[in-house]
Chains A and B, each alone.
Chain A
Amino acid sequence: MSLTAVLIVVVAAVLIGAFGIRVSRTTSDFYVASRTVSPLWNASAIGGEYLSAASFLGVAGLILSFGADMLWLPVGWTGGYLVLLVLVSAPLRRSGAYTLPDFAEARLESMTVRRAASVLVVLIGWLYLMPQFQSAGLVLREITGAPHWAGGLLVAVVVAVNVLSGGMRSITFVQAFQYWLKLTALAVPLVFLLMAWRAGGGPGLSPQDAATWQVPLAGGKEYALYSTYSLILATFLGTMGLPHVLVRFYTNPDGRAARRTTLVVLSLLGAFYLLPALYGWLGRLYAPDLVRTDAVVLTLPGRMVGGTLGELLTALVTAGAFAAFLSTSSGLTVSVAGVIAQDLLKGGVRSFRIATLMAVAVPLGLALQARALPVADVVGLAFAVAASSFCPLLVLGIWWRRLSTAGALAGLFVGGGLACAAVLVTIVGGPYEGLANALLAQPAAWTVPIAFVVMVAVSFLTPHRVPPGVGRTMVRLHTPEDLDLDRGDWRPRSS
């Protein structure tokens, strides 16, 4: 039955991709059609694309294994939007940039910084895609016993075909629907699980768990405090550097709508992340013996409810998980492929096709080869890279006039480079002993400050490399659109 659910989701995705949603309207209802995307729809679309396998499966698994400390993951993944709301969303929208490299070019007026940003976008995208494919493998093995590479390959192929056929590009309504599908797929089974828990007499945690598992920093992990702070820093600051999230802000008509969208995202994600925490807690009660804890969400309905109803609920959760893989992966693939095609290849349709294959094949290869880390941890590493490269670029770029081209470049290079190196060492080598393990598995606490310091220091040393149009750019970024003032005129380029 679960297999049927997966097939339905996959076929639906392919059909939507192949035929698109073709709705024609006549002029009489043109105004209905021309209505810009409302913040609620846009926020749902962001949620739909953002809630990946890590949120859907990984969080509950990590909470089951490590307890209360891991609650910071969903908190941080939501809280990142608070930082985004306060510091970035409206100015970013006003900059007119569609992607992160666009912003780098608009603010720093330099093709070199643009290229550096492109490379980082690609690396972050790959790092984020890899665990999606791994989780797909896990889920498919869980329900059919297929080899672990089958699920990843299936998702990769569906995404590649979809993106290549031009479908699922970024249709807001499709992605918005995905959010509500994922919410339903977790919420409905949870109601039944809680009913089963009540019917079973509502057991509580074992005394040992109550003393350690549910108490913060009591899990006996080494350097737990450092890891927690590092995690908070990575997730709070990394959200703004995710390529597939930022492109959605372009759909807002102005800066104010961008802020509103972010606010709605905050509440949508807040609501969603209550669910995995509950799954983790139920998992601790009913399935503490799981080896691969990422599967806890899939296992619980079968264990606790059982029978046909249990199978139905498992099917629903599985469908939600595959929807999560497909929506996040296709959003990321489109973003990564767009950047590869435009900035690293020649541009045009043919480049986009090659870029799509590159965007899917590299993380798929990594997913098949790399050691199996918990999915939420790998996604956390992608956040750490984003936090130590794009966060300084965006925050300083938007709020500091004296950021120079050389400073931005040095910061991206040092911050992004150090974080990438730590990630690489962790994924390939690891696990290590003691402090080294903590520093490498959660690099944000040292890479983010280093990136900021380097960016600021080098900017102070190279005042002549401050872009000449900075005053005009700052006016553009910070004045509301309805204010009538001179933002500078466009002139045809003279050569």
Chain B
Amino acid sequence: MEYLVAVAVAAGLVGVPALVLWRVMRGRRELGTSPAERATFETLHTASLAGPPLRAGLTADGAERASRHLRALLGSSALAITDGERLLVYDGAGEHHAGQAFEQARATLKDGRTQVLAVDCDLLECPVRHAVVVPLTTDDRVVGTLAAYGPHASAGLVKAAQEVAGWVDSQLELAELDRSRTLLMEAEVRALRAQISPHFIYNSLTTIASFVRTDPERARELLLEFADFTRYSFRRHGEFTTLAEELRSIDRYLTLERARFGDQLQVTLRIAPEVLPVAVPFLCLQPLVENAVRHGLESRNGVGRIVIVAEDGGAECRISVEDDGLGMEPDRLRRILAGEIAPSGGVGLANVDERLRQVYGDEYGLVVETGEGAGTKVNVRLPKYHPGVSAR
């Protein structure tokens, strides 16, 4: 009996780490059997190793980490990368040539043409005799050079250098693309912040005005709510906030809307206190609630019911915003989320969806349940912890 336990426990102790290791190693298993296949895979693998460092653009750090793999791809004795102003890295044999590398690149930087140069060297054993300098371009602009050094300047080396430079170009273009996508993202968040609908401001102020004489105390309260609401929405700093703050802002918004619509708008909130400290992207729920209010009021009998639920789900928090409005054709919704057609009002769902995916990964996008005449329910899942995400 005791041996059985020993075996079971030992199996557990060994098995769990083994499972982890296996999962890590599985990705590295060799593929292919014939030499040609293996060579192909090796080349592709080397290229895939050199890719990520270059994705940050042409930087000294990235160039240095990529250079070793690029040299393996080229099969040259040495390799140098420059940007428009200086040498970024010299990798391989003949370190004493590093000082000349930028001088050799100057002509290529100017006219963007491939050059083949002879290199003077007094050392007999130095393999660096010739240099092939090829330009690195993005958007038809020369941004740097790549130089391959070797004992001979064979046509093969020139060809290989050009091909590798072309591959590096595409990585740099991807880097550029990443950067512009990031900028776009930030611009969108900024746009969303300024996106309190003018109608909402106008309607709120009119509603408040209508109370000024009949119920001055209420008018004052509503005005303060309005001030707090706008202050939160126009906040400039911080990418994230806590769920508690976000819900507080939503509550202010709903207070103003209910002052306007009275009994036509019925709101139920069910919030688990455990999830209030969760960090959430700034203004990620507000647009969902605005949508729900708008759609809810369009319902047949003119009374909109909205249910907002935030539940604790272990390592994540589950939020849903539901209305009993007219709903939407699922296909139309899919196209709105894919950004193919602009929704009727504001950036709304698609923006929230995109931002959630950007922060937490694709598995955390919005999940929408809807149908013609069946109301709409938007589900959001948010992990309680995600690297780099913090409310303060």
Contact = CB atoms under 8 A, between A and B. Distances in A.
A211 interface: no
Contacts of B272: 171
Given A30-B269, A352-B314, A428-B9, A170 B274 contact: yes
A98 B182 contact: no
A96 B279 contact: yes
B269 A96 contact: no
Given A366-B5, A490-B239, A494-B182, A344 B16 contact: yes
B5 A251 contact: no
Nearest to B258: A27
A106 interface: yes
Interface string A238-278: 00000000000011111000000000000000000000000
B270 A34 contact: no
B315 interface: yes
Interface in A440-468: none
Given A99-B315, A172-B273, A490-B239, A253 B244 contact: yes
Contact of B12 (A31, A33, A98, A126): A126
Given A126-B12, A334-B314, A494-B56, A24 B270 contact: yes
Contacts of A31: 251
B124 interface: no
Contacts of A30: 247, 251, 269, 271
A126 B314 CA distance: 18
Contacts of A147: none
B31 interface: no
A492 B12 contact: no
Interface in B350-390: 358-359, 363, 384-385, 387-390
B185 interface: yes
Interface in B220-261: 239-240, 242, 244, 247-248, 251, 254-255, 258
B17 interface: yes
Interface string A356-389: 0000001001100111000000000000000000
A371 B5 CA distance: 9
A491 interface: yes
A222 interface: no
A344 B271 contact: no
B13 A494 contact: no
B254 A27 contact: yes
Given A25-B270, A252-B277, A494-B56, A338 B314 contact: yes
Contacts of B269: 24-27, 30, 33
A250 B9 contact: no
Interface in A415-432: 420, 424, 427-429
Contacts of B32: none
A106 B385 contact: yes
A491 B56 CA distance: 13
Nearest to A370: B5
Contacts of A99: 315, 385
B302 interface: no
A37 B175 CA distance: 45
B165 to A, nearest CB: 21
Nearest to A105: B387
B8 interface: yes
Interface string A29-52: 011011111000000000000000
A371 B315 contact: no
B217 interface: no
A420 B271 contact: no
Interface string B269-311: 1111110110100000000000000000000000000000000
A269 B77 CA distance: 70
Given A36-B244, A102-B385, A169 B314 contact: yes
A250 B4 contact: no
B274 A492 contact: no
Nearest to B185: A492
A487 B392 contact: yes
A495 interface: yes
A25 B179 contact: no
A98 B20 contact: no
Given A24-B268, A170-B312, A366-B8, A494 B392 contact: no
B339 interface: no
B365 to A, nearest CB: 14
A489 B392 CA distance: 9
A35 B20 contact: no
Contact of A23 (B178, B182, B270, B385): B270
Contacts of B175: 494
A171 B313 CA distance: 10
A88 B9 CA distance: 31
Interface string A170-211: 111000000000000000000000000000000000000000
Interface of A: 22-27, 30-31, 33-37, 96-99, 102, 105-106, 109, 115, 119, 122-123, 126, 166, 169-172, 250-254, 334, 338, 342, 344, 347-348, 352, 362, 365-366, 369-371, 420, 424, 427-429, 476, 481, 487, 489-492, 494-495
A-B CB proximity, top 4 nearest: A98-B384, A102-B385, A98-B385, A369-B5
23 contacts: A23-B270, A24-B269, A26-B267, A27-B254, A33-B273, A36-B276, A98-B384, A115-B20, A126-B12, A169-B312, A172-B273, A172-B274, A251-B273, A253-B276, A338-B315, A365-B8, A420-B13, A424-B13, A427-B9, A428-B6, A490-B359, A494-B182, A495-B52
Given A24-B269, A98-B384, A490-B239, 10 more contacts: A24-B270, A25-B268, A33-B271, A36-B276, A37-B276, A115-B20, A250-B277, A344-B20, A366-B5, A487-B392
